[in-house]
Structure 1
């Protein structure tokens, strides 16, 4: 019944925004930070995903990121990713806003998106601000190449990277010569201004706003669903667990995102 009511609302909508978090990629086998079995339980990201940590021990930080990058390289977009990619074709105005850094939305075919927290396969120099695309970083630092990481066995990865990587192999900025770090937003860093502005505008103007697989805890991104609600949008949450925004939502689905989004997409296509 809830899906039927939502489909009626979506049929009347021309402007839709979808906001995704780690729960979407968890269905592809990528550990979350804040879930019950997430990386928060194994590591303290505040000791790794910071500029201070990178300055203190760049080798340790890069080994951790390469470990994460290999997990992502081995993963595939799931039906939730693919459903979102198809949904962008059904509405005149659409924006996918993701907190995920894994690039699986792009691999699934999404084109109308902003990656608020950056992309793990890209690079950034924290000294001069120079950014490196995935292709540029791979050419400077072949160990970060997605295809290379995908080919490595567990034992090969441990031998070459976890045990064999040396600091003199880490990528250096072509502009200033300092070390390049992963192209993600670290704790204490601001979100990219252009991406955040685009996300705010989409949240303020949409008819329906989906919050999918996100804990709704990390600011300022966590404010987007409530901005949409205050601006008059219907608020839809898809998350197996309750979150701080659940009580504000018009529709709540306590099920995996791949299951709910696939059904929504199917019903929308049937009505066209």
Structure 2
């Protein structure tokens, strides 16, 4: 699968970046592609502060649909393989652009989230964060039934990062600390559209980059393993 010197790096300090592709086998749709959540839609009409300000019910219903879809999804072998990798390597950092809870459900001890948590609400008034439980909401909300904060009465929003907003600072801090120390960068299921340039930073530092994806995206300095993450990642960890 990989040359022995590359495999050996996975026993040292490993930095992992995951994207939507790792969760597809669990039943969570990606954003882009023929079956993507954005198909036929303008992403800025669904996932931006402006969209929420102008059409909060539309945005809330789109997110509630996604929460309900994810509610019964379970981690797949790729998520579990990362937990096994964490147990085997000397140091492990997991950064994800996903907002689903599957890494934690698989048993990952520490997940650094760039784009937030779809299973949480954030009060636009007092900043309180709460668990989002979809069964408490009607099938569809309207302007009269928009979720409000129990503490201050302010409007609630999904606790996720929208277009035009900054990624969560905690995840950025983890990148700054762990990526320069990493012996290898493992990308799993990233689309290449929103990458934050971690692959380029790693290449500039001389750190090998291994990319697992169903679509080839050739790049100098990157070793590609093309195929489903739920098949390739467990095999990679088993080879260590």
Decide: shared fold, TM above 0.5.
yes
In the alignment, structure 1 residue 161 sits paired with structure 2 residue 139: yes
> Which one of the candidate residues 124, 129, 133 is aligned to 2:130?
133
In the alignment, structure 1 residue 109 sits paired with structure 2 residue 87: no
Q: C-alpha displacement at 1:5, in angstroms?
A: 5.1
Q: Give the TM-score of the pair, scaled to structure 1.
A: 0.81
Mean Cα deviation higher: 33-42 or 104-113:
33-42
In the alignment, structure 1 residue 184 sits paired with structure 2 residue 160: yes
In the alignment, structure 1 residue 69 sits paired with structure 2 residue 43: no
**Cα–Cα, structure 1 residues 249 and 27, in superposed 2: closer, same or farther, change >3 Å?**
farther
Q: How many residues align?
A: 240
Equivalent residue for 1:29?
A: 27
Equivalent residue for 1:202?
A: 178
Contact 1:6–1:251 under 8 Å retained in 2: no
Q: C-alpha displacement at 1:175, in angstroms?
A: 5.2
Contact 2:30–2:36 under 8 Å retained in 1: yes
Gaps of 5+ in 1: 145-159
Q: Secondary structure at the match of 1:52?
A: helix
Contact 2:13–2:184 under 8 Å retained in 1: yes
Cα displacement string for residues 200-251 of structure 1 (whole angstroms, at most 9, x for unaligned residues): 3222210010011101221xx43112212222211101011133xx313442
Gaps of 5+ in 2: none
The separation in 2 between residues aligned to 1:249 and 1:211, in whole angstroms, is: 13
> Which one of the candidate residues 220, 234, 258 is aligned to 2:208?
234
Q: Secondary structure at the match of 1:123?
A: strand
The separation in 2 between residues aligned to 1:232 and 1:131, in whole angstroms, is: 42
Q: Please list, as runs of the form range in 1=range in 2, the aligned pairs for 1:2-151 lying within 5 A after superposition.
A: 2=2, 4=4, 6-11=6-11, 14-128=12-126, 130-134=127-131, 137-138=132-133, 142-143=135-136
Q: Give the TM-score of the pair, scaled to structure 2.
A: 0.91
RMSD: 2.0
Equivalent residue for 1:264?
A: 236
Contact 2:27–2:73 under 8 Å retained in 1: yes
**Cα–Cα, structure 1 residues 176 and 52, in superposed 2: closer, same or farther, change >3 Å?**
farther
The separation in 2 between residues aligned to 1:94 and 1:133, in whole angstroms, is: 28
The separation in 1 between residues aligned to 2:4 and 2:40, in whole angstroms, is: 41
> Which one of the candidate residues 133, 148, 153 is aligned to 1:172?
148
Q: C-alpha displacement at 1:35, in angstroms?
A: 2.5
Q: Secondary structure at the match of 1:25?
A: helix
Q: C-alpha displacement at 1:194, in angstroms?
A: 2.2
Q: C-alpha displacement at 1:6, in angstroms?
A: 3.2
Q: C-alpha displacement at 1:142, in angstroms?
A: 5.0
In the alignment, structure 1 residue 215 sits paired with structure 2 residue 191: yes
